[in-house]
Amino acid sequence: MEETSRIPGYFKNKGILITGATGFLGKILVEKILRVQPDVKRIYLPVRAPDAESAKKRVETEVIGKELFGLLRETHGKGFRSFIEEKVVPLAGDIIHENLGVEGPQLSQMTRELNVIVNGAATTNFYERYDVALDVNVLGVKHICQLAKQCPNLEVVLHVSTAYVVGEKQGVILERAFKQGETLRETEAELDIDAELRLARDYQRQVAGDDAEQKNERKAMKELGLARAREFGWPNTYVFTKAFGEMMLARELGAVGGVPGVIVRPSIITSIQKEPLPGWVEGTRTIDAILIGYAKQSLSCFLADLQLTMDVIPGDMVVNAMMAATVAHASSSAPADQQKKTTPPPTVYHATSSLRNPAPYAVLYRTGLRYFSDHPRVGKDGRPVRTRKVHFFGTVAGFTAYMVLRYRLPLELLRLLSLLCCGLLFSRLYADLDRKYRFVMRLVDLYGPFALFRGHLRRRQRGEAQDGHARRRPGGVQLRPQDRRLGRLLLQDPHPRVMKYVLN
């Protein structure tokens, strides 16, 4: 019983800062802490807003007001609003600014009270502007660490990354922190965080133009990010800057003195599996998006090797892993020999399922086909929509060839017809279809390495050593996907739930 209650018990009377609270994982984490430990001291939530009142409204609308908080709302009844006002502190802040943009007495109170910092803020756009991605995913981490230095009672900093910072590696991939300047491919160029920040600033000044040229500037900055990522072995700007962020965390926390850092790397995050609201998902996320596209019959082909492992993890399991890692590494709960004034490299945890409980993409397809055949959608005319099969391609080359034959060649024929008609008849249709075709091919270029990812992300067993120190995964939350029979529960049960929260 003592071990089971250890995780919720740790958060009693703790001050916690959570960035990225308006995101999918952030909401789940806020709700989970408030539900399992109502005696938490305070949870600070910085959100982008012009002032305090706007920040409060945004938290109420985009976080607390969501259906996800229904169980908590039911538990507290009429006292729910006063409970939230006592425990949750919305802040007008942004990690791209020093001290997150928080000033004066509010900053002083926050730094005094903070015991835990969770950095979940990020831009997840694979094709983001390089300067924007660096500001949020790299400089944002630096600002978090600088804030940590001002917190006398801080016990741990947890940073949410992504499992795909490993790039296109194959085979078993261990939980290992990056070394400073490490790259994923051999290159004569040196990978230097500060140099990349200067490069982005200088290049932005070169390509900056007036309002009419902003579109060209945005494209130039996006292409710069993609070029730099691929120069060093990463497939896109997102995972490249997230890897940079991990390096920044290790570098900056080294100057804090004794505050441990933890990095959690989730794989593909799916809808909530168990609590508080099974199947809840916000927007269309990864695997759920595939189900939606399939149900709406808008997905005729897809880039995926059906025999490859689909590494997915429910959002609530990721949050459980984050909470467990926080407790395991917090300086107040660590063994005496781990409470040192020097800061070791951050400990990395994979929140993944591929190695212990592999489930291939074929399972998703078969269960999806069966579910939608048994429960067809009803069209606008009241008739059932017939479920069509999807063409899958296990290589980028095969997918590209199909797209050229199926779409590119007809498009070129349409262009020739438009020219023969003096450009008046089909020009607008051609432009629209050509834009959509190019968009799909850009997605394949960006997402291909993930759809065809051949790595297996290893998770340590409980108590297994890393860097010479025993690391514990304390009880109290669901951590192991194999215990939940992930292959069945993820790929069969969520279909009706996903349809409820997203499709309708």
Q: Kindly report the CATH number assigned to the domain that includes residue 282.
A: 3.40.50.720
* Residue 372: pLDDT over 80: no
Distance CA 442, CA 412 (A): 19
User: What's the mean per-residue pLDDT of the chain?
Assistant: 83
Indicate the range of 56-65, 211-220, 363-372, 461-470 predicted with least confidence.
461-470
Query: Bigger pLDDT: 334 or 63?
Result: 63
- pLDDT at residue 423, as a whole number: 59
Q: Tell me the C-alpha to C-alpha distance, in Å, between residue 339 and each of 92, 252, 329.
A: 34, 19, 10
Q: Average of pLDDT values for 65-74? A: 96
Q: Tell me the C-alpha to C-alpha distance, in Å, between residue 85 and each of 10, 34, 76, 151.
A: 22, 12, 13, 23
Query: Bigger pLDDT: 165 or 478?
Result: 165
Residue 446 lies in a domain: no
> At 92, is the secondary structure helix, strand, or coil?
strand
Q: Tell me the C-alpha to C-alpha distance, in Å, between residue 196 and each of 126, 192, 201, 241, 246.
A: 18, 6, 9, 10, 15
Count of residues in the chain: 504
* Inter-residue contact 425 to 417 (CB < 8 Å): yes
* Residue 462: pLDDT over 50: no
* Residue 185: pLDDT over 70: yes
Most confident of 120-129, 362-371, 372-381: 120-129
- pLDDT at residue 466, as a whole number: 41
* Residue 156: pLDDT over 50: yes
End-to-end CA distance of the chain: 42
- pLDDT at residue 311, as a whole number: 82
Please list the active-site residues: 238, 242
Indicate the range of 14-18, 86-90, 269-273 predicted with least confidence.
269-273
Residue 149 lies in a domain: yes
DSSP 101: G
Residue 447 lies in a domain: no
pTM attached to this predicted model: 0.85
pLDDT tens figures, 310-345: 888 889 999 999 999 999 999 765 444 445 556 678
pLDDT tens figures, 393-426: 888 888 889 888 888 888 888 888 777 776 556 7
Question: Which among 288, 312, 296, 315 has a CA at the least distance from the CA of 498?
Answer: 288
Residue 406 lies in a domain: no
Q: Average of pLDDT values for 436-445? A: 76
Domain count, the chain: 1
* Inter-residue contact 207 to 218 (CB < 8 Å): no
DSSP for 290-329, written as a single string: HHHHHHTT--SEEE--TTSB--EEEHHHHHHHHHHHHHHH
Q: Which amino acid is at 25?
A: L
Which structural domain, as residue segments, surrounds residue 317?
6-394+452-503
Residue 432 lies in a domain: no
DSSP 213: G
- pLDDT at residue 77, as a whole number: 96
Residue 470 lies in a domain: yes
- Residue 78, H or E segment: none
Query: Bigger pLDDT: 25 or 421?
Result: 25
DSSP 369: H
> At 266, is the secondary structure helix, strand, or coil?
strand
Residue 344 lies in a domain: yes
Residue 57 lies in a domain: yes
